[in-house]
Amino acid sequence: MIANNSGPHLWFITHQELKNWLESIINHATLIAPQYCDGVVLFKPTTDVNEIAWGDTRPAMSIKEAFFPPTEQLMIVEKRGSEIKITENLFSDKQVIFSLRPCDARGVKVLDSAFITTEPEDSYYSRRRANTALIGRTCQQMSETCFCTSVGGSPSDPGDMDVMLTDTNGGYLVQIVSDKGGELVEGVNLQSTSISLQAEPESARTLAPQIGDWPARFADNYWEVLAERCLSCRICAYVCPTCRCFDVRDEALSSDNGWQEFERIRCWDSCTSEAYRRIAGGHNPRDTKAKRLKNRVFCKFYYYPQQYNPVACTGCGRCIEACPVNIDITEVLQHFMEVADANRA
Ligand code: SF4
Ligand code: SF4
């Protein structure tokens, strides 16, 4: 929201100057921005600012793959007899993400908590994170499935960005949020403005039950009812900005002159998959869809906040849109809120 009152210091940039700025970024970094791909908006690297989807449509996939790719080669191992050579594949490029929404920047912060802040640091993730700057945009309108305001977020929250843009007449208001953002705007034609941002309206009622309410829901029959229609397809985890489970595999590549070459890769995995918790001997402690669905929700709202601090749901609503059988996380939360309220009454 825009007003003529006090608030964070802002600058103004025209749409054309913004395009010029993004073009200059392309000269020294990979620019990742929303683009239409077969009718679907996705974050993709671009070398042409005219390819950018400027509208308010939230990309179907989150930005996590810029930090944590769906499949990533971690290292190459070469072996000849007892000789072994290991070459790690560490990311060294620069990347700038444009038109990130506050919920997705919050998702990056959630991933930081697991991959960087908590020991041991994941060097594959942290290299990408250190080499990436985030240029955000305020959401003009929340979509039907968005609920960021019910999990502590807001459509205009700049807190997890480096630079934040807010659409205004003829251009954008620019807020420089971090030192990295300050470096990014060096040399950019920013104009002074007397316009400032209005205070955010109060957030909607928190949707998630309190931490202490969750243990009593562990044996709830609701999970069985919900799971009757779950397909264990894992789409909810793949579209989610905060789901971060992965599998690590070694694959044989080639052999030449007595050298055998292998690659170690990691790829996304999900706790909603049937095989995820299967252990040696075939035992599976999460052998039903109900147990797996419960784990996903408990992870986001009970395990993760205790282990890493933030709630691991940003309210982006992607899992609601993507689930082929209409399992809606807000309905799950609403159900348990009502149960908790009834127990307190
Ligand atoms: S709404 Fe769904 S997809 Fe989005 S952060 Fe929450 S659990 Fe993940
Ligand atoms: S997207 Fe829906 S059906 Fe697929 S695993 Fe998730 S909850 Fe189950």
Task: Kindly give, in sequence order, each residue whose CB lies less than 8 Å from that of residue 323, ignoring residues fewer than 6 positions away.
Answer: 235, 236
pLDDT at residue number 4: 47
Which residue's CA is minimally distant from atom 4 of ligand 2?
233
What ligand is nearest to the CA atom of residue 327?
2
Q: Is the shortest distance between the CB of 231 and ligand 2 below 6 Å?
A: yes
Q: What is the pLDDT of residues 195-225, one digit of tens each?
A: 877 766 666 677 888 899 999 999 999 999 9
pLDDT at residue number 201: 62
Which residue's CA is minimally distant from atom 8 of ligand 2?
230
Can you tell me the mean pLDDT for 6-23? 91
- Residue that has been written with the tokens 């945009």 in this structure: 137
Q: Is the shortest distance between the CB of 230 and ligand 2 below 6 Å?
A: yes
Q: What is the pLDDT of residues 258-285, one digit of tens each?
A: 899 999 999 999 999 999 999 999 999 9
| Average of per-residue pLDDT values in the chain | 93
pLDDT at residue number 74: 97
Spatial contact of 10 and 196, defined as CB atoms under 8 Å apart: yes
pLDDT at residue number 281: 93
Q: What is the pLDDT of residues 129-182, one digit of tens each?
A: 999 999 999 999 888 999 999 999 999 999 999 999 999 988 999 999 999 999
What ligand is nearest to the CA atom of residue 294?
2
Q: What is the pTM of this model?
A: 0.92
Can you tell me the mean pLDDT for 57-62? 95
Centre of ligand 1 to C-alpha 187, Å, is 37
pLDDT at residue number 6: 57
Is residue 105 pLDDT above 90, yes or no?
Answer: yes
pLDDT at residue number 79: 93
Which pair of structure tokens corresponds to residue 122?
């994941």
Which residue's CA is minimally distant from atom 7 of ligand 1?
313
Q: Of all residues in the chain, what percent carry a pLDDT higher than 70? A: 96
pLDDT at residue number 115: 96
What ligand is nearest to the CA atom of residue 311?
1
Can you tell me the mean pLDDT for 1-29? 85
- 31-35, 239-243, 273-277: segment of lowest average pLDDT: 273-277
Residue 46 pLDDT class (50, 70, 90 cuts): very high
Burial track 244-283 (b if 16+ CB lie within 10 A, e otherwise): bebeeeeeeeeeeeeeebbbbbbebbbbbbeebeeeeeee
Which residue's CA is minimally distant from atom 2 of ligand 2?
323
Mutate to test the pocket of ligand 1, among 160, 329, 331 (most ligand atoms within 8 A of CB): 329
Centre of ligand 2 to C-alpha 226, Å, is 10
pLDDT at residue number 333: 95
pLDDT at residue number 196: 77
pLDDT at residue number 182: 96
CA dist., res. 274 & res. 292, Å (int):
8
CA dist., res. 110 & res. 310, Å (int):
6
CA dist., res. 172 & res. 17, Å (int):
10
